[in-house]
Amino acid sequence: MIALSLALALVTQPALIAGFDISVYRPGIDRSVPAGTPYADLFGTGRGPLVGGHFGISWPILTDLALTAQLSLTHFGDSAYAFVDDGAGDAASAGNKRSGGKTSIDIFPISALIGARYTGLWKRLRVPLIPFAEGGPAHGIWLIGKGGGAEAASGSSTGLALRAGLLVELLGLEPHASRKLGEEFGVRSVALEASVLHLWLNGFGSAASLELSDTAWSFGLELGF
């Protein structure tokens, strides 16, 4: 009976989900370098926005549990003026003199995530919180460009993406707005997201892969249809 209920839920009750995500990210490139900190020396030690979105399907497989499958596409970029080689060999950047051309880095983490959401707090107690956890394979494409827009190097690193956090459901707090969105646009859910994201992107420890791993706070907005 349980197996039949799960099968019927998967077939008859899927919902489309789509959202916008932003994280504060810094690739761990310097951790894979035996000596020195080339990334920090050029781009600094600060973090930057990792921006993108996700879309997929949610199935309420049990009364208080939903299964999700989604694809996440994100982008991180930074640029800085490269140091001028003054002929001093390894000490080329000792004088901190930078050139007129910028060096840029672009990273595109892509992940396929399977997750679960506990919906009982919202459905049963009307507490607008939905805890969730998800994870799956990830692939980070990276591009390094030099002044003038020419590509200097490129590659990719495989690994895993893991995320856990809370969705704050906004619909239902205002019944009139909820009905109007549902009737006119088919929107079943509008939720704010706060989570911790861990990207493990280093080719599963391969020395040939660039280290792009990081753990960061992530925030977003998700719609359910």
Q: Tens digit of pLDDT for each residue in 9-38? A: 555 568 999 999 999 999 999 988 888 899
pLDDT(93) > 80: no
Higher-pLDDT residue of 100 and 201 is: 201
Mean pLDDT of 92-99: 55
Q: Tens digit of pLDDT for each residue in 97-122? A: 666 678 999 999 999 999 999 999 98
Banded pLDDT at 94 (limits 50, 70, 90): very low
In one-letter notation, the amino acid at residue 204 is F
At residue 12, the pLDDT reads 56
Give the residue among 45, 111, 109, 52 at the shortest CA–CA distance from 80: 45
- Round the average pLDDT of the chain to a whole number and report it: 87
In one-letter notation, the amino acid at residue 62 is L
Alpha-helical runs (H) found in the chain? 2-12, 38-43, 120-125, 175-185
Does the domain spanning 2-78+97-224 belong to CATH 2.40.160.20?
yes
Q: Tens digit of pLDDT for each residue in 145-165? A: 987 667 789 999 999 999 999
Maximum pairwise Cα distance, the chain: 76
- Asked whether the beta carbons of 84 and 97 are under 8 A apart, the reply is yes
Give the residue among 120, 145, 127 at the shortest CA–CA distance from 65: 120
Predicted structure pTM score: 0.87
Alpha-carbon distances of 129 from 14, 103, 121, rounded to whole Å: 21, 43, 6
Could you state, in order of their start, the residue ranges of all structural domains in the chain?
2-78+97-224
Query: How much of the chain, in percent, has pLDDT values that exceed 70?
Result: 79
- Asked whether the beta carbons of 185 and 171 are under 8 A apart, the reply is no
33 contact partners, CB below 8 Å, separation of at least 6: none
Query: How much of the chain, in percent, has pLDDT values that exceed 90?
Result: 63
